[in-house]
Structures are given as C-alpha cells and as structure tokens.
Chains A and B, each alone.
Chain A
Amino acid sequence: MTLSMHPSTLLLTRELPNLQYSSTRDRFDETWEAPLSTLLGLGRAAGADFVEFFLERVNYINCLAEDDTITSISPRLSTGAGVRVFRGKADCYVSTNDLSFTGLKAALEKGLSILGLQLPAPNGYVPEINLELLRDYAIKKDKESWLAGCSSMREMGEILLDANAHLKQKATHVQSRRAVYFRDWQEVLVAASDGTFARDIRLTQSVGYNLLCADGTNRSSISKRVGSTSEADFLRSWNYQTDAEEVADSAGKMLYADYVESGNYPIIMANEFGGVIFHEACGHLLETTQIERKTTPFADKKGEKIAHESLTAWDEGLSQDAFGTIDMDDEGMPAQRTLLIENGILKNFISDRTGSMRTGHPRTGSGRRQNYTYAAASRMRNTYIAPGNYTNDDLFASIDKGIYCKKMGGGSVGPTGQFNFAVDEAYLIENGKITKPLKGATLIGDAKEIMNKISMCSQDLGLAAGFCGSVSGSVYVTVGQPHIKVDSITVGGR
C-alpha cells in the first residue's frame, strides 16, 4: 500500500493561471461550482477561517407617470460579486464588477492581504471545497419565467397613465399627481467554504401614488405604495381604483388640517404601516448587529420581560408574496419564522452569520444586503405585532383625549434607543371618537419605555411594504400590526 500526503489530483497554486473555466455568463448555474470551489479552497489554503462569495445580477426598471405623461422609464442592469473573508472574528469584504475567474481571484487576494494572509506558494496545494449540490430555489419554485411574465415597458406606461387619470377624477385641488412603479429582478448565488451553494431569483415590485394638493396656502401631500414579491402579474392586478380613492380622501382631509398641539398623549396607531413603531422602537434593537455595537438595551434580556404582556411579535421571511419574503437569505440560509417577543417576554434575536459568531445567538436566515457592494448583516424581513384580543372600538373607548395616527411616515432609531417617526395623517380623539384632522405630528420616545406602554392590541393585523435602510443598505421589508394603543407618547408639533 502506498501512502501520500495529498492525492495527486489536488490542484497546485502554480496551475491556477492555466485553468479554463467556462461559467455561464448570463446565468448562475452549476457551471459556477468549479471556479468558486477552487477560489474558496484557495482562500482556506491561505489561512482564512471562512470564505464566502456572493454573486448578483440585477435587471431593474422604474417608471414614472406625472399627471398625464410618462416622464421616465429607467432600466438598470447590474452584475457584481462580493467576497467575504474571516480570520478569527475579524472580517473583510471586497466587492467587484468583474465576475471573471481572474476578477474574483483578485478580489479574494485583496481580501486575504487586508487580513494579513497570502496565497500559498506556487507548489502549495489548493484544498477542494466540497460544495453541496446546487440548492436552486429558482428552479424549485419555478421562478425562471418571472421576468418574462412581468409587464412590458408599454404595459407599465399604460397602467400608470390609467391610474393617474383615475386619481384625477377622485381628487380635488390637485397640484400634481404621480404614479410610480418599479420592478427589481435579482438573481443571486452564494458559495461558502462551509459547503453552502445556493441560488435564488427574487422579484420585488412596488407601485403607488404621490398626490400633492394645494388650496391657497394650504397644502397636503399623501403617498401610498403597495408591494409584492413573487408575483409576475403584480402590476396588472394593481387595484388602483381603491388606492386612488384612499389617497384622494386622505389628501382632502389633510388639506385643511390644523397643526397638532405638542404634548404627551395616549395614541392609537392604525394597522399595516403603523407597524413602523415596532420596527423602529424594537425590531432594530433585536438585530445582532446592535448587540455587537452595544447599542441595544435588550442585549442581555433574552427570557426577560421587555414589553407589555399584551404584546407578541414575529419576524419571518415566509408570508406569501409579502415585501420582505425571501426563500433564502443572502448567506444562503433558508428563511425562517422567528418569534421575537411572546406576551412581553424576549424570545429570540435576529441573527446573521457574523452576528451568530460574535454574539452566540443562532442564525435565523436574516443575513440581508441591498446588493453585492454590502456585506450581509442581520436585518428584519416581515416584522409585525401579532393580533390581540381587543376590538378597535375597545381601543378608542379607552381614550378621552388622544391622537389617532392613521397613516405613518418613516422613522429611525439612534444608538441610544431613542426612536422617532412621522405621522402623515392624524386625527384628534375626543371622548372615544375621532374628531378633527391634524398634521405635523412627530412621535418620539425611548425604546425601552415605549414597549411597556403598548397596552392594547386589536385583532385586525395588516401588513404594509416598506424600505429599511441600515448597515447593509436598503432592503425590502414588511411592517405590520393590528390597531394598537400606546398609553402615552411624546408628540412633537407646533
């Protein structure tokens, strides 16, 4: 019997320039296994503890109708890759537009060198990384035909013009009408030195209105967007009639609204986009990224009560067609349904690979990024407060004087847990009844305190599409909740 240190088929570093890979240029398929396996092996041979490649191709288009004209159709084609290299707990991320073997190798070499690592000498062996059989969600879930099934440029223009014409009929005092649509088709491939090898196609679409009304010095601007993943037919099935009526109605009411008087009030937040309160005041603070930075007050509270006992909340990537739904995250892990808070008790954090490594909390399929120029980070997907036992009438009846926040704007949370968000459409509540419209309200508070003040949850859970900007760029998310009551919050106004 003959023993040798390495099988004779192992690749030597000096042979790399002679390798001839012929990966498919316009598709991430099995032909990428060989070059990526080689590159991952090269990274490991150089001394990296872990190496991951993320390849991305995007076919994006947006369309804008202003009043009765299509003023912009803007396609964008993008390809790129990012390589992440870990040495201990330090990591390096290098991105490039060059998807050739040479280009990817150059990116890897740069990443290695930044971490003080070098490619093996010419006679060094490159260990083979055994990648799993390509886990192809695009094929498993029949996504290959999605792009072709989406609306053509002509069709998207026609639908937006019809929608804008409908809005004109419904609204008064119109200064400008806009209908906006985008389609974001993304193909991704993840290959990592732990054997991960997975491909997905994602289709995210969104359409909506921006309406500006003016009467003398009174102005109101109202927006509404709906969004979806996984539906090629999404734009064709947009019920713009309903949205136009809603937007026109809101803009009309807010046109003559008084400014809100600042102070502390009990508030009721409407369902759907009202869920931004949980997203900003708690969701971000449950991302392991925040634990790593020591910017969350909840870091050591797992298993403890951090919210009112009436509150249960989820983050998941599985809801059918929801804006934050993903079959796998950007690290190749299948999406999960993650219970964050149950009856006020903190149950789980939202974790990506790095977060798991640095904090010990298990991965939840939440490693997400805007595109190949960002390393993945722990990010929310579809995040919402679960339905409670109250009715909306119960909520209103409990308030003598307060504010009904019907339509929320965006918000943010800072490193000390201070959050804020804007209210686009608000009403005064007097003796349990909605009375006059109010504008100019901003809600501010401290995350730790506010979670104990969400005392009543209604039963009408609704989800809404949103865009979340954070360390790994802007990602598509869902926020959601039923109508909820907050016992007291600071309302900034005039």
Chain B
Amino acid sequence: MPNIDELAGYTQASAERLGIEKFDIYGSSVDETSVQVDSGEPKQVKASNRSSVIVRVWNKDNTVGVTSTTDVDSNGIDLALKTAYEASFFGVKENVPDFSPEATAELKADTEATAPQAPVSQLIDTLIEAEKELLQAHPAIKGVPYNGLSQRDLSRFYLNSEGAMRNEARSYTSIYLYSKTEQEGKKPRSAGAFRINRSLEQIDLPGCIQEAAEKTISHLDYEKVKSGKYRVVFSPEAFLSLLGAFSNLFNAQNILDKQSLSTPESLGKQIASPLLSVCDDALHPENIAAETFDGEGTPTRRIPLIANGVLSNFIHSAGTAKRFNTQPTGHANIGAKVSVSSHFYHIFPGESAQQEYSLDSAENIIFIDDVQALHAGVKALQGSFSLPFDGWIVNNGKKTSIESATVAGDFLELLQSIIFVEKEPELTPAGVCPRIWVDNLSITGE
C-alpha cells in the first residue's frame, strides 16, 4: 500500500481532474500470518498482505456516493472516485453525511503500538508445542481440531479534502486452542480458549493451554439437565456475547432507523439492575486492538452506557450526533450509510450488592461458559433469545457438565433480573467483564 501522503496526493489530483471538490477516504492495510497444526505437523500456513479503501464523494448538490476498492494505486483510486461520483446522485437528500467536526481534533492516545513479527517457523513450533501439551493434559483429549496462531500488523488512516489526515498502526498476536475428547461409550466433548496480546513473546500461552485443558476435562462427565427456570451465572465471555448481540440498545443509528430496543426517550431510564454499569472504552488499557479514531476520523473515547442500571448515553457517528444535538463519540463506520458500532466493553459493578453470591456455596446454579449460534438464536429487534450453550450445573462448587441445553429469555428482562455482578473482571476479546448472576432464566434440557 502506498503511504498516506502519496495516496492523498494522487487522490487530490484525481479529484481535481474529475471536478470533485469534497471527498474523504478511510483505508486500512493488513499484513497477516497465521498457522494451523495437526498432530504435530504444520497443516496450513496463511499469509496475506492486503489493502482496501473506501472513498466518499460529495457532488455539487451535496449528496454523497461511496465506493470501496482494493485497487489503491492511482488508477484504482481514479476509478473509485468516478464510481462514487456516479453513486452520489442516488445519495440521500435528508440528513446528508458530512465530515466529522472532530476529524482534525487532537488524538490523545498513542497511534503506534507495534511489535516485530515472529518468524513463521517460530509460530509453527509454538503451536505444535501447545497442541502437544494439550494432548498430554488428559488421555481423553484426542485432538485439537481447531487451533490457530496468528500475528497481524494493521495500519489505518483517514483523510479528507479539508486537510484532515491521521493514521495509526497496531500489531497483535492471537492464539486459539479448541480440543476434543473421545471416550468409549460417551459422546465427544470439546472446549477451547483464546488469548491475544501485542506479540508472540507477550502472549499468555500457558494460560491458554491450561484453560483449554481444564474446560475440556470438565466436560468429560456430563449429565442432562432438567428443563425449568434457573438461577444462571454468565461467564464474562457469554455475557459480552449476549450484550453485543443486543447492542442496538445503545446504537443511535439503530434508534433513528427504528431498529433498536431503545428510543430517543430511553436515555435516563432504568433499563437494568442498579448493580450493573457498562462503558464502551476503545482506549481501555487492556484493549490490544484499540482504535484511536473511527471511520470518520473522530477520536475514540470512553463512553458510559449504563450507569447503575440507568441508560446514560448512546454511541454516535457524526451524523447521528448532529441529529441528537450532541457530540460524536468515535463509533462510526464509514459507508454509503454510516453505521455505528461499539469497540470494547468495560462492565463493572454499579451499586453495592446487598447480598453477594459465590459458586463455591450456591446450589443448583447453571453456569454458562459460552453461548452459541447467536446469528440464529437472537432476535435483536424483539429482544428475545434462545441459544444453545456450553456450561455446567454447579452445586456447592462442584461443576457437572451439561450435555446439551438452551437458554432462553428476554434481554431487557435479563438486565433487570441481575442479582449480582462479581468484582473480579476477566479480559475477553470483546471487553473486560466479571461474572454476572441472573435469576429466573428458562433452561431447556430434557
């Protein structure tokens, strides 16, 4: 990919030649290597070096068109500008997107956090060793069918015809290990773990192996669970998955489109138990993949979403912020229709709980480790969910794996039914969150 100054130069030249006065470009470039192994041998190694940009063009009538392209040389950008210009005549005439008023605001966070990539041979050796350790953890673990170790250098930029120009670069390395058991007379069981950090050297490999092994082993002896209403504890990952699936609650664009469980009047309302507080925080120190600006060039920041159960803010693009008469929050994704999405959740206790709970002493608790098939089982516009899950039934600290079951409910009711937010947070790819206790959820087993 050309550097941002070169790109800005020939984009400007192309725009002038085409009579385009107002445009902006958001782009990214990825250099990525990933490996998979099978039974002590490398299975597949993938490497990729790719770039893409999206251009927005305003015509003389001030309507907007966009085009995205992976062809980022001067010919490719020229064609993209022409196509975007053609599309601009079919752009919206009301609430036309504009440059973010913060596209030139100072970025307060570090825009560069990179690390050298490890040699591919080291990635393969590391993953083979991890596979070996996992296979040795228990005789029933017969394979690690899903595994991967990848490292990625990602650079992003935004520039516009009014002089905004910013870029950032990040490196990160991630590993996942998903092992499977086979035992005579029993169904195969599986579980996994994931870790991410800046570089291979920094990644918590022993922790990942240990978690994958412990979880997998914990599912060896399983039981059916009786259908009924249960007190449920969500793991951080499970709760964040669910929250992410219903993120239209906070999404200003979804609200304007009537594709949300919230309305503009929902702000200030008690939508959850006062025990719960939620922020979206792209710049959280634990967020390895932090983005310092969004697709419109707006700096990202920490935004309280739920404070002690009260819906306190929405997340915005420049366009939604203007319509809500507020400031953009750094959550825009550039496009023909600018969309809005969260970055990295930080969930923590709100008001102090009157009663604290512990898995070591509670009885007949369903502990949900991971919810599955969210794309199918979540009705985000209805607020309902019905999802298969991996988990355990817990009695006084003793965990027994559940053979196969679903959890169902209404997400807004679930938020109100939170009875405890534990204090110890865990880091997951979607955010930082403690375990969340919820009363009275429907579990279908047998």
A157 and B93 CA atoms in complex are apart in Å by 14
Is B350 positioned at the interface, with any CB of A under 8 Å from its CB?
A: no
CB neighbors of A among B31-83 (8 A): 38, 41-52, 65-72, 76, 79-80, 83
Closest CB of chain A to B387's CB: distance in Å?
Answer: 7
B377 touches A420 (CB 8 A): yes
Q: Kindly specify which of B141-149, B237-245, B272-280 makes contact with the partner chain.
A: B141-149
A76 at the interface (CB under 8 A from B): yes
Q: Judge whether B408 and A221 touch: CB under 8 Å.
A: no
**Distance to closest chain B CB from A329 (angstroms):** 18
Does B86 sit at the interface, judged by CB under 8 A? Answer: yes
Q: A212-B259, A262-B227 are in contact. Are A114 and B120 (CB under 8 A)?
A: yes
Q: Which residues of A contact B86 (CB under 8 A)?
A: 153
A80 at interface, CB cutoff 8 A? yes
Q: How many angstroms between the C-alpha atoms of A85 and B88 in the bound complex? A: 43
Bitwise, A286-319 to B at CB < 8 A (1) or not (0) is 0000001111010000000000000000000000
Q: Is there contact, CB below 8 Å, between A95 and B50?
A: yes
In the assembled complex, how far is the CB of residue B118 from the closest CB belonging to chain A, in whole angstroms?
Answer: 13
A416 touches B408 (CB 8 A): no
- Indicate if the CB atoms of B388 and A442 lie closer than 8 Å: yes
- Is B190 positioned at the interface, with any CB of A under 8 Å from its CB? yes
Among B42, B67, B386, B404, max chain A CB count under 10 A is at B386
Return B375 CB to nearest CB of chain A, in Å: 5
Cα separation A111 to B143 with both chains bound (whole Å): 27
Within the complex, which residue of A78, A95, A157, A220 is in contact with B90, where a contact is CB–CB below 8 Å?
A157
Q: How far is B382's CA from A439's CA once the two chains are assembled, in angstroms?
A: 11
B442 at interface by CB-CB < 8 Å:
yes
Is residue B218 within 8 Å, beta carbon to beta carbon, of the partner chain?
A: no
**Size of B's binding interface in residues, CB under 8 A:** 72
Q: Is A388 an interface residue (CB 8 A)?
A: no
Cβ of B172 under 8 Å from chain A: no
The answer to whether B43 and A446 touch across the interface, beta carbons within 8 angstroms, is no
B47 A93 Cβ-Cβ under 8 A: yes
Is A90 close to B, CB under 8 A?
yes
Measured between C-beta atoms, what is the minimum distance from A445 to chain B in Å?
8
Residues of chain A from 162 to 216 with CB closer than 8 A to chain B in the complex: 175-176, 212
Question: Is the Cβ of B68 less than 8 Å from the Cβ of A76?
Answer: yes
Q: Is the CB of A90 within 8 A of B41?
A: yes
Instruction: Given A212-B258, A262-B227, decide whether A294 and B70 contact each other with a Cβ distance below 8 A.
Output: no
* A292/B48 in contact, CB under 8 A: no
Name the residue in A66, A71, A72 with the highest tally of chain B Cβ atoms < 10 Å from its Cβ: A72
B406 interface residue per 8 A CB criterion: yes
Q: Could you tell me if A415 and B372 are in contact, using CB atoms closer than 8 angstroms? A: no
| B241-272 interface code vs A (CB 8 A; 1 in, 0 out) | 00000000000000001110000000000000
A154 within 8 A of B: yes
State the Cβ distance, A216 to closest chain B Cβ, in Å. 13
In the complex, how many angstroms separate the beta carbon of A374 from the nearest chain B beta carbon?
Answer: 8
B345 interface contact, C-beta 8 A? no
Check A360 for interface membership: any CB of B closer than 8 A. no
A89 CA / B257 CA spacing, docked (Å): 51
- Pairwise interchain contact A111-B47, C-beta atoms closer than 8 A: yes
Chain B 388-426 interface residues, beta-carbon cutoff 8 Å to A: 388, 404-409
Partner of B70, one of A78, A154, A410: A78
A422 to B38, CA, bound (A): 33
Residue of A with least CB distance to B120: A114
**Is B386 a contact of A492 with CB atoms below 8 Å?**
yes
Q: What residues of A have a CB within 8 angstroms of the CB of B72 in the complex?
A: 97
Taken residue by residue from 399 to 425, chain A's Cβ proximity to chain B (1 for < 8 Å, 0 otherwise) reads as 000000000011110111110111000
A44 at the A/B interface (Cβ < 8 Å)? no
CA distance A74 to B334 in the complex (A): 11
Distance from A186 Cβ to chain B, minimum over Cβ atoms (Å): 13
In the bound complex, do residue B444 and residue A493 qualify as a contact, i.e. CB atoms below 8 Å apart? yes
Q: Give the interface size bracket for A toward B.
A: 35 or more
How distant is A256 from chain B, measured CB to nearest CB, in Å?
A: 13
With known contacts A91-B44, A420-B388, A294–B143 Cβ distance under 8 A: yes
Write out the residue numbers on chain A whose beta carbons fall within 8 Å of the beta carbon of B377: 409, 420, 422, 442
In whole angstroms, how far apart are the Cα atoms of A471 and B363 in the complex? 40
A446 to B388, CA, bound (A): 12
Chain B hits for A490, CB < 8 A: 404, 406, 444, 446
A110 on the B face (CB < 8 A): yes
A417 and B43 form a contact (CB under 8 A): no
Contact residues in A for B258 (Cβ distance below 8 Å) = 175-176, 212
Residues of B within 8 A of A339 (CB): none
Quick one: closest B residue to A61, CB to CB?
Answer: B87
User: For residue A413, which residue of chain B has the nearest CB?
Assistant: B373
Complex CA gap A414/B227 in Å reads: 22
A114 contacts B388, C-beta separation under 8 Å: no
Q: Contact check, A93 vs B46: say whether CB atoms are below 8 A apart.
A: yes
The answer to whether B188 has its CB under 8 Å from any CB of chain A is yes
Q: Which residue of A lies closest to B79 (CB)?
A: A77
CB-based contact B376/A80 at 8 Å: no
Given contacts A70-B90, A416-B180, contact A94 B372 (CB under 8 A): no
Q: Please tell me if the beta carbons of B408 and A110 are within 8 angstroms of each other in the complex.
A: no
Known A-B contacts A175-B258, A375-B46; A72 and B376 likewise in contact (beta carbons under 8 Å): no
- Chain A 73-91, CB-CB to B under 8 Å as 1, else 0, gives 1111111100000000111
The yes or no answer to A454 lying at the interface (CB within 8 A) is: no
Minimum CB–CB distance for A160 against chain B, Å: 11
Q: Does B187 contact A (CB under 8 A)?
A: yes
Q: Provide the bound-state CA to CA distance between A415 and B379, in Å.
A: 25
CB contacts under 8 Å to B, within A235-286, are 259, 262-264
B392 to chain A, nearest CB (A): 16
User: Provided the pairs A74-B66, A77-B69, A262-B408 are in contact, do residues A412 and B180 lie with their beta carbons within 8 angstroms?
Assistant: no
User: Residue B42 contacts which of A77, A90, A95 (CB distance < 8 angstroms)?
Assistant: A90
Closest to B44 in A: A91
Residue pair B146, A415 in contact (C-beta under 8 Å): yes
Q: Which of A73, A115, A294, A416 is B65 in contact with, Cβ under 8 Å?
A: A73
Contact of B44 among A78, A93, A411 (CB under 8 A): A93
| A440 close to chain B: CB less than 8 A | yes
Q: A75 touching B68 by the CB < 8 A rule?
A: yes
Contact of B372 among A71, A97, A420 (CB under 8 A): A420
- Does residue B362 face the partner (Cβ distance < 8 Å to A)? no
Chain B residues with CB under 8 Å of A175's CB are 258
Q: How far apart are B409's CB and chain A's nearest CB, in angstroms?
A: 7
Query: Which residue from A75, A263, A414 sits with its C-beta under 8 Å from B87?
Result: A75
Tell me the complex Cα distance, A445–B406, Å: 11
Could you tell me the distance between the alpha carbons of A262 and B90 in the complex, rounded to whole angstroms? 48
Residues of B within 8 A of A78 (CB): 52, 68-71
B87's nearest neighbour on chain A, judged by CB, is A73
- For B92, list chain A residues within 8 Å (CB): 69-71
Q: Let me know if B132 is at the binding interface, CB within 8 A.
A: no
Cβ 8 A contact of A94, one of B47, B189, B409: B47
Q: Which residues of B contact A73 (CB under 8 A)?
A: 65, 87, 90-91, 336
Instruction: Say whether B104 faces chain A, with CB atoms less than 8 Å apart.
Output: no
Q: Mark A105-122, 1 if CB is under 8 A from B, else 0.
A: 000001100110000000
B383 at the interface (CB under 8 A from A): yes
Contacts of B227 in A (CB 8 A): 262-263
A96 touching B66 in the complex, CB below 8 Å, given contacts A221-B379, A263-B227, A294-B145: no
Once the chains bind, are A95 and B48 in contact (CB under 8 Å)? yes
B336 touches A72 (CB 8 A): yes
User: Which residue of B has the minimal Cβ distance to A85?
Assistant: B45
B231 to chain A, nearest CB (A): 16
Is the CB–CB distance between A441 and B87 below 8 Å?
Answer: no
In the complex, the answer to whether A493 meets B386 with C-beta atoms within 8 Å is yes
- Does A491 count as interface, using CB distance less than 8 angstroms? yes
Top 6 nearest A-B pairs by Cβ distance? A492-B406, A262-B444, A410-B376, A72-B337, A293-B145, A422-B376
5 contacts between A and B (CB under 8 A): A72-B335, A78-B52, A294-B145, A415-B178, A415-B188
Residues of B participating in the A interface, judged by any CB pair closer than 8 Å: 38, 41-52, 65-72, 76, 79-80, 83-84, 86-87, 90-92, 94, 120, 142-143, 145-146, 178, 180, 187-190, 227, 257-259, 335-337, 372-373, 375-377, 379, 381-384, 386-388, 404-409, 442, 444, 446
